[in-house]
Amino acid sequence: MSRRTFERRFKKSTGDSPLIYLQRTRIEAAKRLLETDEQTFDQICYRVGYENSNFFRELFKKHTGLLPSEYQQKFLVKPTLFLR
């Protein structure tokens, strides 16, 4: 199958190009890590497959409307202690 045919079929099936689909998948993974982990954004970038954290920061903001630090402040789930 040619690259062009693959891209057309992939977009028809998912609604996104392979690149956009991969970017969204990586952003969703980064969001989960920002919600549950207290790793640095550079560490999270590397874990989801980006070496250039500045590029990924811009991409993250484009897709979520928030900077990664803003997203983490808003959605970080901090463990709570329940006392009986």
Among 62, 30, 58, smallest CA distance to 45 is for 30
**Confidence bin at 82 (pLDDT 50/70/90):** low
When the candidates are 3.40.50.1820, 1.10.10.60, 3.40.640.10, 3.40.50.2300, the CATH number that belongs to 3-70 is: 1.10.10.60
Q: What is the pLDDT of residue 77?
A: 79
Give the integer Cα–Cα distance in Å for 46 and 53.
8
Record the pTM.
0.83
- pLDDT band (50, 70, 90) for residue 83: low
Q: Which two tokens stand for residue 45?
A: 């970038």
In this structure, are residues 30 and 66 in contact, taking their beta carbons and an 8 Å threshold? Answer: no
User: pLDDT for 20-63, tens place per residue?
Assistant: 999 999 999 999 999 987 788 999 999 999 999 999 999 999 99
Residue 4 CB contacts under 8 Å (≥ 6 apart), including other chains? none
The predicted pLDDT at position 76 comes to 84
